[in-house]
Structure 1
Amino acid sequence: MEGKTIQLLVHNIGTLVTLQGTAGPRTGLDMSEVGIVEHGAVAISDGEIVAVGREEEVRDQVKGLEIETELDAGGRLVTPGLVDPHTHLVHGGSREHELALKSKGVSYLEILAAGGGILSTVRATRQATEDELYRKAKDSLDKMLLFGATTVEAKSGYGLTVEDELKQLRVTKRLNETHPVDLVSTFMGAHAVPVEYRDRPDDYVDLVIEEMLPAVRAQGLAEFCDVFCEHGVFTIAQSRRILQVAKAMGFGIKIHADEIEPMGGAELAGELGCISAEHLLAASDEGLRAMQRAGTVAVCLPATSFNLRASHARARRMIELGVPVALSTDYNPGSSPTESLQLVMTLACLNLHMTPEEVITAMTINAACAIGRADRIGSLEVGKQADLVIFNATNLAYLPYHFGINHVDAVVKSGKIVVHEGQLVKERFS
């Protein structure tokens, strides 16, 4: 460390949650081992962590070095920056009119079959300009940052034409270049069958494979490919075709699996070696075991279940079987219109029966694994990107216990203070 300048020293941390000790996702009992350090500090140089641990030890390590800025955590709780591994960030319009339909018992798939749901958002997204989509998505991304998210996955899937899918993905790329939050881009042209292909879904699958995927790859607009494998959307056979081609083209692969009916999507995720499978409300034990063998991360979305008044993913069973569990908002304009990972914390504890320790693991290192970023984010360790959150709390349990408010005091992203006293630091935004 000789010769370095410490650009930021976060000190006087009451409880420091490091998640140190593993390169891959945590499973089983290890999800409860979160690496707590009392009276901690974190030293940062060039956007990376250079020392972390008890404050007296960290100060010894940086003794004699210039410290440009010290940030007093005031005895508060500090965690790694939260990671949101499943969102539909870029879209046009909103769907508040569907709330009354849901209250009357109209199901998600019934709304979709009637031309609403995803297809309603498709119409709004096609009509919107890139600048309009950018401004709307930036507003949501600002909110996510204020709630503690420092890395966010963003899916396309509301264009369903070659150009409109590319339009969404270009907005994601632009946001990644201009906003402090890091975005991980996922192509999801197979999010729904558009109206113009309603009677010939296999032709639409051909379009996704033959035109969309090559165009996305040629322009370098996405790292992953996702498919909505569900009754009335894409079959197991169609999903397998798309994901196999995407994998052969070099995309990482994900799948919306067994959200509403037990289709065998979890089994397919294990068969193909998907990096993650999402939703999983109806996943079978056989499917979960296939995921465990493949190392596929289960991304659970309790805010979606809450909003749809649906059953919940069997997170306790997943943990028992050794499946790595991550959590996400599933931010989207229909089934989960929330940017708050802190709300998801509460829902995961109450409805998925997860402990606060399991929840923070699922929102940091395991979520980072679900988007292929665990080598850089998800824990507070020397050499990793300096992403961390200071919460107005003294312990982990307080975050899900006291729900409905924002506990974030400050956020450090890549070594820079981007939220301070609960407000965005605007000069950090390009």
Structure 2
Amino acid sequence: MADQFFHNAKVYPKADGEAAADCFAVADGRIVSLGVDTPATQRIDLDGRVVMPGFVDCHTHLVWAGDRSAEFAQRQSGADYAATAREGGGILATVRALRAADEETLVALALPRLRALAREGVTQVEIKSGYGLDTDSELKMLRVIRRLGREQPLRIQATFLGAHTVPAGRDRNEYLDEVIEVMLPAIAAEGLADAVDIYVEEIAFSIPDMARLFAAARDHGFALRAHTGQFSDAGATAAACALGARSCDHLEHADAAAVAAMAASDAVAVLLPGAFYCLRETHRPPVALLRAAGVPMAVASDANPGTSPLVSLLAALHMSVVLFGLTPAEALAGVTRHAARALGADTGVLAPGRPADFSAWRIDRPAVLAYQLGGLLPDAVYIGGHRL
């Protein structure tokens, strides 16, 4: 006997774009049957609604304080992001605001952002640290992320991004020593993170830095992720793949060699159209090459206060089609099964044995979610079989 049986539905996706089934059953928070009338304690008529797997936002920086609207205005007047960062703006501006905020404030600021994502059908979110840039502040961020996972229903994964940029007044090698020798052991001891990330770029960290960090992170049992190819690449994506990265994120400047390295590995390409849009970039990720090579492409909001103040995965979904050239089906796969793969999660797919994370929509077909910009909300969102 199942707990719930949902019927009169259009359950997506299927490889040919048609509905995979018209009914499914849930027990103990997981799907136990698909397309089979199953006895259940509760029978729920979905009245022809489209049912989508719960959306997964696999790259966010949702915990922050302050805002960077003045910096945004400067960029609209022609200021360069890298120059702003070198002058103490950019990430370092958010670092100052976050260090000044306590945990209660950070939780209170982050909860509305998570609720906004949940209203759109997002059921799982990855959140990075990286605005602390000292041991106490990075630990504070990660404790807040873990607390958010306990205090609201969305599934939350925490990623340690201590190697986001070099703090003001610090030597890069000295700071990286602190990340590896002090922060990583403390984070591992408290179980505060699921993965470790690094920003490999001329204004941040190098390929040798990534190799050092990843070696230490592997020793502590963390999954590996990397920001690569946003403003340059110089072999960073290929190196991340060779080092075992689960995903490479941004990729605007990834070349054919980078794509070949991704195809030869298990890495997911995480595309972040919000940052591309807000920074007025013109160099697109090599979507055609990634597609031809069979590299799974995830899509995420990159929600952050500076380069992607976008707390909407549906907007990122739309942008990935319009700006990057994904098909609607590719974009929808990018916010479901491929995004889940970037997190090493078993979500993002509606199938027997998988978590019953899904949303129900009064639309004709899933492509509407990629087509329409704004004004779309599901009628219901479920996580583990429980309605939000």
Which TM class, normalised by the smaller chain length?
A: over 0.9
Q: CA deviation at 1:9?
A: 2.5
What do the CA deviations read for 1:265-315 (whole angstroms, capped 9, x no partner)?
A: 111112101000100100111011111111110000011101111132122
Counterpart in the other structure of 2:3: 7
What do the CA deviations read for 1:24-47 (whole angstroms, capped 9, x no partner)?
A: xxxxxxxxx266326611211111
Q: Does 1:264 align with 2:235?
A: yes
Counterpart in the other structure of 1:291: 262
CA contact (8 A) 2:12 2:21 kept: no
Counterpart in the other structure of 1:306: 277
Counterpart in the other structure of 1:37: 19
Flag structure 1 segments of 5+ consecutive residues without an equivalent.
Answer: 20-32, 419-430
Please state whether the residue corresponding to 2:253 is helix, strand or coil.
Answer: coil
Q: CA deviation at 1:391?
A: 1.9
The alpha-carbon distance between structure 1 residues 192 and 34, as it changes in their structure 2 partners (threshold 3 A), is farther
AA in 2 matched with 1:68: Q
Paired residues for 1:36-75 under 5 Å: 36-37=18-19, 40-53=22-35, 58-59=36-37, 62=38, 65-70=39-44, 72-75=45-48
Q: CA deviation at 1:242?
A: 1.1
Counterpart in the other structure of 1:333: 305
Paired residues for 1:225-304 under 5 Å: 225-304=196-275
Please state whether the residue corresponding to 2:380 is helix, strand or coil.
Answer: strand
Give the distance between the partners of 1:76 and 1:312, measured in 2 at CA. Answer: 35
Give the distance between the partners of 1:96 and 1:408, measured in 2 at CA. Answer: 30
Greater shift, 94-103 or 151-160, is seen at 94-103
Give identity over the alignment, percent.
37
TM-score norm. by structure 1 comes to 0.87
Give the distance between the partners of 1:183 and 1:254, measured in 2 at CA. Answer: 16
Give the distance between the partners of 1:99 and 1:87, measured in 2 at CA. Answer: 19
Paired residues for 1:25-424 under 5 Å: 33=15, 36-37=18-19, 40-53=22-35, 58-59=36-37, 62=38, 65-70=39-44, 72-197=45-170, 200-310=171-281, 311-373=283-345, 376-418=346-388
Flag structure 2 segments of 5+ consecutive residues without an equivalent.
Answer: none
What do the CA deviations read for 1:333-380 (whole angstroms, capped 9, x no partner)?
A: 11111121111111111111111111111111111110010xx31100
CA contact (8 A) 2:315 2:374 kept: yes
Give the distance between the partners of 1:389 and 1:35, measured in 2 at CA. Answer: 17
TM-score norm. by structure 2 comes to 0.96
The ranges of structure 1 where at least 4 consecutive aligned residues each deviate by more than 6 angstroms after the TM superposition are none
CA contact (8 A) 2:356 2:384 kept: yes
AA in 2 matched with 1:67: T
CA contact (8 A) 2:119 2:377 kept: no
Q: CA deviation at 1:403?
A: 1.0
AA in 2 matched with 1:101: Q
Please state whether the residue corresponding to 2:8 is helix, strand or coil.
Answer: strand
Counterpart in the other structure of 1:22: none
Give the distance between the partners of 1:34 and 1:78, measured in 2 at CA. Answer: 16
Please state whether the residue corresponding to 1:97 is helix, strand or coil.
Answer: helix
Give the distance between the partners of 1:264 and 1:105, measured in 2 at CA. Answer: 29
Give the distance between the partners of 1:34 and 1:174, measured in 2 at CA. Answer: 41
Please state whether the residue corresponding to 1:408 is helix, strand or coil.
Answer: coil
RMSD: 1.4
Greater shift, 165-174 or 406-415, is seen at 406-415
Give the distance between the partners of 1:327 and 1:194, measured in 2 at CA. Answer: 29
What do the CA deviations read for 1:153-183 (whole angstroms, capped 9, x no partner)?
A: 1100000110100100001111111211000
What do the CA deviations read for 1:233-273 (whole angstroms, capped 9, x no partner)?
A: 11111122112211222111000001001232111112101
Counting matched residue pairs gives: 387
Give the distance between the partners of 1:324 and 1:75, measured in 2 at CA. Answer: 30
AA in 2 matched with 1:273: G
